[in-house]
Structures are given as C-alpha cells and as structure tokens.
C-alpha cells in the first residue's frame, strides 16, 4: 500500500480522489433515487389507495345519488395533484370527472384518457346504487404490487373510479432539480441527496487527509533513512581510512623494529670489534672463536705491541656509551610505536561498533539484514 501511495504523484492525488468521489456520489444518489421513488413513494401511494378502496367508492356513490356534483370535484381535488382520481361511465369510455390540480409538475395527467385508463395497474372501483359498504379491492401490505379482489360488486353500476399513480421523474431530472433547486431544501428526495453529498464530501476529505499524512510519514522515514545511510557511508569511509592508517602504522612498526634490531646488532658488533681492537692494541689475549668439529685449530700467536696505546682508544671508548644509548632509544621508539598501534586497533574496534549500531538502526529491529552485517575490520 505504501508503494502505491508513493508511486502516485502529488498532482494526481486530488483528481483521482475527485473522480472516485464523483463516481461514488452518483452511485449513492442513484441508489437513493430508486429507494425513494420506487420504494418509499410507491408504498405511501399503495397505503393511500388501500384506504381509498375502503371509503371513497361509498362516499362518491352517495354524492352521485344525492346529485352533489360540486362535492364530487372537491373530493377528487383533495389529492392536491399528487396522484389522480378519474370517474367514468360504467363502460370506462367517457370521463365525467377527474382531478384538476397539478402538484409541481404533470406526472399522471397524460394517463387520464380512456385509452390509458385500461392500462393502469391499480384496479378500478365501481360506484353502485345502492351503496355497498364493503370494499371490492384491498392491498395485503404496503409492499404489495397488486390489489386483491375481495368480492364481486352488486347493484346498479353508476360509474368507474380509477386511481392513477404519479410517474417518478427521471434520475437526471431529479438530480438536476436538486443541484439547481438549492441545497438548503431538505424535503423529499433532496434531503437524501444532501445527506449523500455531505457524506461523500466528508469521506473524500478524510481519504485525502489520510493519504497526505501517510505520504508525509513515508517521506520523513525516507529522509531519515537516507540520512542514516549517508552517516553510515561516512562511518565506513572513516573506518577504511583508519584501517589503511593502521596498516601503514603496522608496516612502519615492523620496519622500525627491524631497523632497531639491525641497529642494535650493528652496535653489538661494533662494540665487540672495538673491544677486540682495544685488546689487540693493549696486547691482551683474545678469546678463541669456536671451531667447527673436524677442523684443526692452530695456536694463536699474539703479536706484541710495538707502540704503546694511543689516544684513539679513548676516543673509541667514548663512542661506545653513545652507541649503546642510541640502541636503547631505538628500542624505546619501537615500544612507543607498538603502543600507538595497539591504540589504533582499539579505535578501529570502537569505530566498528559505531558502524554496526548505525547500520542496525538504519535497517530497523527484527530485520534479517541486521544480523548479516558485514565485518569491515582489516584481516
């Protein structure tokens, strides 16, 4: 889901949400349209017709018998034009009276013609003389699609009473009336459209807010991860620099140790040579060198000194302490360099720990990649 959010560009988020919101709004508005006109209004009219089946034929029959024509028209107009009532002759070919009022629009008026009356689904009642109190038709429930006949009429038939349902407006016309008629009206179908509009708008705003917040959180995490990666790269470079420096210092340490050892050996050799030279000059006997087995050793003949020892011996003896001191200084420098290399190795281990911690924090806890870290220590 996060990859989908990141793949959508910012300029496409609002149009996508608007398109999805408009599509959802149209679907919900059409569902409300079907529920209101073909559900609520139809059941209300069915209830009205069921009531009229029980009381209106008797009332109109009495008015016709009494000759109260004025009351007949007033009774038919009492529907306010929401639905139509039509009285015809017994054959249904001639219309005597019908509802003359119109409520907002003409919806059923085109049906008030003899050719259309026979096509009406609601059954007509018969006006009889004498008046019959029991209804001929009745609906079982408000949801019933057709009235049930209870009995057959008796007596003289004075006319027919037709019930005309109002045709619902088209979905486009109803929605246009809501948009152009004003959002502040909360009556009829407009109230449902208003609730749908408010719900879809609020839902779209919430979706946009959630997407924006999630995208912002992901971007912040990416910035933090990039910063951690840069810091990790810097730490790696520092570790590589320290490793190369440590390797150079180790090689320098080995070289210095070799130089110190060679200098020490040269000093010892020079000391022995000087001692031999001094002994030879003083005429002292010198120790015999070891002879390999099987080799005949001839007696060493010491040449007596011709001249007494000169001042050069004193000068040579004065050089010996300085040579010994130089050898000690070189060995001391080698020890100091060894300690410095040990300190560099400790710093390298600490830097390795810092790099490992930064790498583990960048990868995150519980990730397998945090366990398979790379050992950057020099071999």
Q: What is the pLDDT of residues 259-279, one digit of tens each?
A: 888 887 887 887 788 777 777
Is 159 contained in some domain?
Answer: yes
State how many domains the chain has.
Answer: 2
378 assigned to some structural domain: no
Q: Of the candidates 172, 193, 209, which is a domain's last residue?
A: 172
What's the confidence (pLDDT) of residue 376?
47
Domain membership flag for residue 103: yes
In a domain, 106, yes or no: yes
Q: What does the alpha-carbon distance between residue 30 and residue 92 come to, in Å, rounded to a whole number?
A: 38
Tokens standing for residue 235: 């730490």
DSSP state, 105?
A: B
Specify the pLDDT at position 329.
79
The secondary structure of residue 110, as a DSSP letter, is G
Pair of tokens at residue 277: 């030279």
| Distance of alpha carbon 326 from alpha carbon 264, whole angstroms | 8
Residues 262 and 347 in one domain: yes
Rounded Cα gap, residues 253 and 180, in angstroms: 93
Same domain, 150 and 274: no
Residues 245 and 145 in one domain: no
List the beta bridge partners of residue 103.
105
Predicted pLDDT of residue 26: 92
User: Which residue ranges of the chain lie beneath pLDDT 70?
Assistant: 1-13, 181-186, 281-320, 323, 363-379
Instruction: State phi, psi for 306 to the nearest 5 degrees.
Output: -80, -45
**Distance, CA of 31 to CA of 10 (rounded, Å):** 32
Range of the domain at 345: 231-284+308-370
Task: Give how far Cα 103 sits from Cα of 12, 21, 270, Å.
Answer: 46, 34, 133
β-bridge partners, 85: 163
Assess whether 245 and 165 both reside in one domain: no
With respect to residue 129, please indicate whether it lies within any of the assigned structural domains: yes
Q: Is residue 260 part of a domain?
A: yes
Whether residues 167 and 258 fall in one domain: no
Round to whole Å and give the CA distance between 133 and 131.
6
Q: Is 48 exposed, middle or buried (0-12, 13-18, 19+ CB in 10 A)?
A: middle
Domain boundary, last residue among 139, 172, 205: 172
In a domain, 298, yes or no: no
Does residue 191 fall inside a structural domain? no
What is the pTM assigned to this prediction? 0.55
- Among the candidates 154, 172, 190, a domain finishes at 172
Pair (357, 277) in one structural domain: yes
pLDDT of residue 299: 47
pLDDT at 144: 83
Residues 38 and 135 grouped into a single domain = yes
Q: Which residues contact 139 (CB under 8 A, 6 or more apart)?
A: 46, 47, 49, 50, 53, 147, 148
């Amino acid at each position: 889901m996060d990859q989908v959010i990141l793949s959508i560009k910012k300029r496409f988020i609002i149009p996508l949400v608007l398109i999805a919101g408009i599509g959802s709004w149209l679907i919900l508005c059409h569902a409300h349209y079907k529920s209101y006109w073909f559900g609520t209004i139809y059941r209300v009219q069915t209830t009205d017709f069921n009531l009229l089946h029980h009381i209106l034929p008797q009332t109109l029959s009495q008015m016709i018998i009494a000759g109260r024509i004025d009351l007949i028209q007033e009774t038919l107009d009492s529907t306010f034009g929401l639905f139509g009532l039509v009285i015809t002759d017994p054959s249904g070919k001639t219309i005597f009276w019908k509802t003359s009022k119109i409520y907002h629009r003409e919806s059923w008026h085109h049906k008030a013609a003899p050719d259309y009356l026979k096509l009406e689904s609601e059954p007509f009642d018969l006006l009889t003389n004498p008046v019959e109190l029991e209804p001929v038709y009745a609906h079982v429930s408000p949801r019933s699609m057709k009235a049930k006949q209870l009995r057959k009429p008796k007596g003289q038939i004075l006319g027919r009473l037709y019930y005309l349902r109002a045709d619902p407006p088209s979905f486009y016309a109803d929605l246009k009336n809501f948009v152009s008629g004003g959002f502040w009206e909360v009556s009829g179908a407009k109230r449902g459209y208003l609730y749908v509009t408010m719900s879809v708008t609020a839902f779209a705003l919430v979706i946009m807010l959630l997407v924006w917040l999630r995208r912002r959180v992901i971007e912040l995490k990416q910035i933090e991860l990039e910063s951690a990666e840069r810091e990790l790269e810097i730490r790696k470079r520092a570790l590589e620099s320290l490793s190369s420096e440590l390797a150079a210092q180790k090689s320098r340490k080995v070289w210095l140790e070799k130089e110190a050892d060679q200098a020490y050996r040269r000093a010892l050799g020079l000391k022995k040579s000087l001692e031999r030279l001094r002994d030879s000059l003083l005429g002292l006997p010198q120790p015999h060198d070891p002879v390999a087995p099987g080799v005949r050793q001839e007696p060493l003949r010491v040449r007596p000194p011709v001249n007494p020892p000169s001042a050069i011996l004193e000068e040579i003896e004065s050089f010996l302490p300085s040579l010994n001191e130089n050898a000690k200084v070189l060995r001391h420098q080698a020890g100091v360099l060894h300690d410095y290399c040990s300190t560099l190795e400790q710093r390298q281990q600490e830097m390795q720990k810092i790099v490992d911690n930064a790498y583990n924090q960048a990868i995150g806890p519980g990730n397998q990649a945090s366990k398979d870290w790379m050992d950057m220590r020099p071999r």
